Amino acid sequence: MTAVNQKTMRSELFQTKTLTKTAVLGVLAFIIMALEFPLPMFAAFLKIDFSDVPALLAGFAMGPWAGIMVEVIKNFLHLFKSQTAFIGEGANLLTGILLVAPASWIYSMHKSKKSAITGLLVGTIVMAVGMSIANYYVIVPLYQKLLNFPTEAVVAMGSKVNPHVMDLKTLVVYSILPFNIVKGIILTVVTALIYKRVSPLLHR
């Protein structure tokens, strides 16, 4: 067997292992996605789960594209049980990509604990700002247009726990934006705590 053939075989084996690990993490993320819960200081429709953690682990171990693919797999599987005309899955996918892509890209530039934390914090900011814009201009209006769920009802859910919420703009500022910041910080802590422990498994 020539050196070229050996190199090709090693490359194909690496790709197969990477795809397999990405698929497994995607399914794991889908399962974890069901274990969601609200935070008492935010509107009830804003729920947190830890399904972005497998995507972050994939992104750190195998590169940004792997983290993004975990997000895609997770939300593709969730489409079959969608109750939101796919709006929720689209929003979840966008949220995950906005967090995972910058976090894993920054980490890939220089793999260290400092760059991992920096990446996660940058990802949190990108996610929080990006989802604030997306909710204001696209997601909440789509709920009204496609599901006949009035924007006023969404705002009312926010004002129920925060009197500063009076319209869509204040809902974004006082509820959606801080929620995603808190969510990002929680995911940062969880990922930072477990990555080194599972890293050997992800690099096999």
pLDDT one digit per residue (tens) for the chain, 204 residues:
565 455 554 555 557 788 999 999 999 999 999 999 999 889 999 999 999 999 999 999 999 999 999 999 999 999 988 888 899 999 999 999 999 999 999 999 988 999 999 999 999 999 999 999 999 999 999 999 999 999 999 999 999 999 999 999 999 999 999 999 999 999 999 999 998 888 887 877
The domain locations on the chain are 3-202
pLDDT of residue 203: 72
State the chain's maximal CA–CA distance in angstroms.
72
pTM score: 0.90
Q: Residue 56's closest CA among 3, 143, 123, 132?
A: 123
pLDDT of residue 200: 81
Which residue intervals of 110-176 are DSSP H helices?
113-134, 140-147, 151-159, 168-171
CATH number of this structure's domain 3-202:
1.10.1760.20
SS3 48: strand
Q: What tokens appear for 83 in the block?
A: 């109750």
